[in-house]
Structure 1
Amino acid sequence: MFAVYATVTIFASLLYGSAAVVYLIGHEFPKAQLDMKRLPRSWVPVLGTMLAAGALGLLGGFAVPMLGMLAALCLVLYFVGALLAHLRVGSRKLANWAGFFATAVAALGVNLAYYWT
């Protein structure tokens, strides 16, 4: 079970960490996404910081299990908010969202299965 937990956690950390870098370096993609969702561009560094905190929290879960579980839960909630932002403007392009959300759910699931079963 540890191999599954470690694999999913490390994969999720790399995924969200790389997304955080894209947000924090000022890449045009997150800005275009916020424009499409009619959200202020001033949110880009905040959202990037939230993704970075989630990635680091998942890795911190190896030392402090509750931290990893809370980070995974917060990432799930982050992507529920992203879904609501998509639906609010009528966007049905949810393939990328689904991958990010599924990874967050998987990270939460393996955290719960490994530490709290």
Structure 2
Amino acid sequence: MFIAYTVVAVVLALANVGTAVAKLRRAEPATSGLLATEVPESWFVPLALLNLAGAAGLLIGIGWRPLGIAAAAGLVLYFGGALGFHVRAKDFKGMPMPGAFFVLSVLALVLGIAAR
């Protein structure tokens, strides 16, 4: 389970860093999804910082599992909220990406708990 958690944590961390950088640079694919769900532009930086914190927590969690579990749980809530925003805005075409991140976050959480 440790190897599986490590692989999922690294992949999810890299994906979160990528999406954080996209938000900070205001890259079109990231911003169009946020704007479609009526997320204010003033939230872009705090949301990017949450992505980076989750990524750091997952990576540190490889060595100190409680932090990895907490980071994965936080990312489950983060991406669950993102999915909720897409549902509320009826932006179903924008749901695959946060949905994939949500599933990976749940997987990281389950594997982190199982690998304890």
Normalized against structure 1, the TM-score is what? 0.91
Post-superposition CA distance 1:28-61 (Å, at most 9, x none): 3332222211121111111111001000000010
Q: Is the Cα contact below 8 Å between 1:24 and 1:49 reproduced in 2?
A: no
SS of aligned partner of 1:110: helix
Q: How does 1:70-109 map to 2 (within 5 A)?
A: 70-93=70-93, 94-109=95-110
The one-letter amino acid of 1:77's match is L
Alpha-carbon deviation of 1:113? Answer: 0.6
Structure-2 separation of matches of 1:34 and 1:3: 34
Aligned length: 115
Post-superposition CA distance 1:70-101 (Å, at most 9, x none): 00000000011101101111111222122111
Give percent identity, aligned residues only.
37
Of 57-66 and 76-85, deviating more is: 57-66
Root-mean-square deviation (CA), in Å? Answer: 1.2
- In structure 1, the gaps of 5 or more residues are none
Of 72-81 and 28-37, deviating more is: 28-37
Structure-1 separation of matches of 2:7 and 2:34: 31
User: Are 1:112 and 2:80 an aligned pair?
Assistant: no
The one-letter amino acid of 1:65's match is R
